[in-house]
Structure 1
């Protein structure tokens, strides 16, 4: 029975990991994150109290962008005309040409696991290989102001205590200003204003955009949404992609094919996400026109275009937009959400099991604070989970012992009613009831582990707290596959082996061995086919699980070792199981 339980648990775990969310999104596209309730706290700056239209207008007035000649990063940042950005967590600069924030480095995160690698460069200027930037400007008289216009700054450095205002005046006497302020984390507030010093009124529309390439250095796993993302009160947040390709998601809007996608309803925020990084515009007015646009050369844009405002002679119009450009730290995103940005925490695609995954992450954080190592935190998490499930395991073993005790009566019933299957099943069920035996209770411990296993997998993939976190010896990143493989002689050869079917590292080998031990301790199956299946299953698991995150394999290996210890203890409490197992092994050896 328990062998079948282990097989069932494995199959269900793989189905959950690889296909659960894909299936849910296909059959229930509305199940993706949506904003159904007003955000807690105050509304975003500049938000109006009037009801917004059911479908906000698109941002088509911004049009497409002309092609730009490629340029390397060092050259792009070395041309001058820049205002330095310096905060406790961010460094970079604002480009005075075009009022663009196109240089953002994250001080707390390295590009690679190597200690001498540079910080993550999230925003880079237009024309660079991984261009990604935000621009703030105006549409005046129906024409978008030139993106190559030179602005003047009233300060040399943007810090949390020193905002900077950019300004320029056009030939019609309109003075445009963009005041940038930044907090101690990753949020920039841009206050755009236009003052009309001319004699005639002018219609003006402030806008903000994020423009980036779809090419990223490290592609996100298939279970993680990477690309356009937004939150509104009308539709799902994850239903737009750079290119849907072979995806079966019925709600997927392919930007490459469709060209544009207009966000309907009141938009909370809009931008782009990668596995760990996130850039988003938070409109200061809910009825802004919000649109995603596909450009040439694998370039994409998220546009926020505000409603036209007539600025009379001597008058000033103001609009505020916030820009988030940083890491997807769940605690920080939730804090911004509590401050009034609806569903901001949904930028991390936790999926349907967020209510289980977040407590797992919370517990891992606290365990890590105690032991100072996320690898040992995962081991402690495993011990805690198995400890909580120990009473359930005891009941499962007691049920198995009871099942062994009634097996002679079951065989008698099977022989007596071998020609009447229906009566046979009725008598067996009556036997279970009379003897107070539940044949399914042995499955419960394994079934309980499935959501834990899936939640830990999502946490390892999504939580930036796990990124580049080492364990011991050769494990330098618990969120990545085991770097030591058979193909590089377990790390002795200095080259990286792509994760795949042959990427068998020490953790995968330990997984196979410990799973084999758990199978050996379980009562043997009498069916020869089942015996052969259980004999090879640990080694199949070894290959299947090898490309998964090292932290996940560490959890499973620890769980297997605890299972061996637990089974040894419970066998001592139920000697009839141990005797039955020994007898089955003896009978199997005799047949062999």
Structure 2
């Protein structure tokens, strides 16, 4: 077995091993727990600086009154923007009903639009709350909380052109107002004010809460994707899985000195609290296991309001789709610190970020994400061309040196040390690097994983069509050889079936063929082990990648096709003409039977 083939087999085996790990580590999603009807109550933290610490204060959390009417039944103010529709409940002044106009549950144009936020009393409550935590001299009922009934302009609609204002008088000298505005995308601005008309100074702290009852219904629970809590605290990103939320009895407070945000993130959607005052804020992320409520809280510093004075604070709420361009705009134009990092770029962010940026640019240029993936493949192969050129030149020279290498093997006999020394001298003399052939293959591994990450986590690939039957590049090829690609009148098994791996679509089959043809640039190995590995490898990959996202398979097919063309052209330029057709025929030849004499010798 020559060194060139050893290196190639090693690189291919490494690729196979790593991809297999990605394939098998698909934990089944957990069933969601039945949602409770209350919001978690947080124990006050007397050591938290700048916050209300009066006994009985909830320090920025909220309590749901079980006897109070549910927010779903309370009076509401409608929300209607180019991107969102929903409503605000006057019970608590909460944003708790929100749907994304431009996104649907499936690729069917008649399927329901995506629901993001839902009120208490629905199947999956998920909402944003705002209020004031009481300080010294104030009882909890003297500040607005989760069940406060606000006075609002009923019959009006919150739009980008028409903000709304809610008011509440506590009857004890404090008048609260809340002005909510929204842009044409996904950003709400919540301005909270308090006017002190009494005769005593009061202290109180504004807060915002994102609360989710139970786990998300569409939780992927897949290690490549982060779902759960996410926060940015003075330039440091922290991701917290739902399993790792602080218990309500042991909540840790994170102090943010200047810039930051906190939120809950799904695969494609996100809600985020972004305090806009310069005094910093504190963050807690907790789970009330008794009622299975997950929440994150942003609590701004305590305000001291003298008689006749007022205080105002502003908090922004992102609630919508994780569109790269939109989030990038909020980061660059509106100063939301490192907001693009709310997209889960992973450990290989130095590859995933530029890969997606190029994909986004090509998609805008071409108008189709499938062709953009092929364009990206061309660019990557162009960047790696100098390395590939050296590799294929070296491979061509290795083929030319084959007769000399066979002669050295004969001369060395069984002396492996002598053979190795002779081989090294030959490589040095002919300026050939036998290891160069596997380097381009190894470089493809991190690129492959980075593209897989991009396709899995970025919204722009969701429901992105390519051509014909491929209407979602983030999903597996929907065609199946089991029903002859739609000719037979029955549906192929779904991904939950154990037979799904046999349900090969057109793209995986083309992938296997492209890998098989690429192998035929080289003669069939004489060694039986090599021959078996090379014979099975394309078809193993075909079945492995059959249930991967179509976009990833499109990339792999394009990569194989371009590699085949490059290798064939470069090897021919070096005087070696690959006999592709002859190698194909040779692969079908049967191994000659041993003659009777050899058979007889073998029995002795």
TM-score of Structure 1 vs Structure 2, range by shorter chain: 0.7 to 0.9
Identify the residue that residue 262 of structure 1 maps to in structure 2.
253
Q: Which moved more, 1:486-495 or 1:467-476?
A: 486-495
Identify the residue that residue 460 of structure 1 maps to in structure 2.
455
Q: Deviations over 1:460-508 (max 9, x none)?
A: 1122111111122221110112223356664553577126534432222
Secondary structure in 2 matching 1:481: coil
Contact 1:3–1:525 (8 Å) recurs in 2: no
Counterpart Cα distance in 2 of 1:214 and 1:352: 28
* TM-score w.r.t. length of structure 1: 0.82
Contact 1:507–1:550 (8 Å) recurs in 2: yes
Once the 2 structures are TM-superposed, how far is the Cα of residue 109 of structure 1 from its aligned partner? Answer: 1.2
Counterpart Cα distance in 2 of 1:196 and 1:76: 28
Identify the residue that residue 41 of structure 2 maps to in structure 1.
none
Q: 1:309 to 1:209 in 2, by over 3 A?
A: same
Identify the residue that residue 84 of structure 2 maps to in structure 1.
90
Identify the residue that residue 149 of structure 2 maps to in structure 1.
150
Aligned counterparts, 1:61-460, within 5 A: 61-62=59-60, 65-66=63-64, 79=73, 81-140=75-134, 141=138, 143=140, 145-154=144-153, 156-220=156-220, 221-233=222-234, 236-238=237-239, 240-243=240-243, 253-255=244-246, 260-266=251-257, 268-285=260-277, 287-295=280-288, 296-338=290-332, 339-417=334-412, 421-422=416-417, 424-460=419-455
Once the 2 structures are TM-superposed, how far is the Cα of residue 264 of structure 1 from its aligned partner? Answer: 4.5
Identify the residue that residue 549 of structure 1 maps to in structure 2.
549
Once the 2 structures are TM-superposed, how far is the Cα of residue 5 of structure 1 from its aligned partner? Answer: 2.9
Counterpart Cα distance in 1 of 2:380 and 2:502: 31
Contact 1:361–1:459 (8 Å) recurs in 2: yes
Once the 2 structures are TM-superposed, how far is the Cα of residue 280 of structure 1 from its aligned partner? Answer: 0.5
Q: Structure 2: any 5+ residue segments left out of the alignment?
A: 26-46, 594-604
Once the 2 structures are TM-superposed, how far is the Cα of residue 538 of structure 1 from its aligned partner? Answer: 1.4
Counterpart Cα distance in 2 of 1:420 and 1:54: 75
Identify the residue that residue 40 of structure 2 maps to in structure 1.
none
Identify the residue that residue 26 of structure 1 maps to in structure 2.
none
Q: Deviations over 1:7-36 (max 9, x none)?
A: 62563376379579x9xxxxxxxxxxxxxx
Contact 1:70–1:129 (8 Å) recurs in 2: no
Indicate yes or no: 2:504 matched with 1:512: no
Q: Which one of the candidate residues 12, 15, 18 is aligned to 2:18? A: 15
Identify the residue that residue 578 of structure 1 maps to in structure 2.
578
Counterpart Cα distance in 2 of 1:7 and 1:538: 15
Secondary structure in 1 matching 2:165: strand
Secondary structure in 1 matching 2:238: coil
Secondary structure in 2 matching 1:195: strand
Contact 1:56–1:264 (8 Å) recurs in 2: no
Identify the residue that residue 25 of structure 1 maps to in structure 2.
none
Identify the residue that residue 601 of structure 2 maps to in structure 1.
none
Once the 2 structures are TM-superposed, how far is the Cα of residue 344 of structure 1 from its aligned partner? Answer: 0.9
Indicate yes or no: 2:8 matched with 1:5: yes
Contact 1:91–1:105 (8 Å) recurs in 2: yes
Indicate yes or no: 2:479 matched with 1:479: no
Identify the residue that residue 497 of structure 1 maps to in structure 2.
494
Counterpart Cα distance in 2 of 1:574 and 1:312: 87
Counterpart Cα distance in 2 of 1:554 and 1:480: 12
Contact 2:48–2:253 (8 Å) recurs in 1: no
Counterpart Cα distance in 2 of 1:84 and 1:584: 67
Q: 1:13 to 1:150 in 2, by over 3 A?
A: farther
Q: 1:277 to 1:403 in 2, by over 3 A?
A: same
Contact 1:260–1:291 (8 Å) recurs in 2: yes
Q: Structure 1: any 5+ residue segments left out of the alignment?
A: 23-52, 244-252
Q: Which moved more, 1:83-92 or 1:491-500?
A: 491-500
Q: Which moved more, 1:167-176 or 1:330-339?
A: 330-339
* TM-score w.r.t. length of structure 2: 0.81
Counterpart Cα distance in 2 of 1:567 and 1:335: 43
Q: How big is the alpha-carbon RMSD for the aligned residues of Structure 1 and Structure 2?
A: 3.5
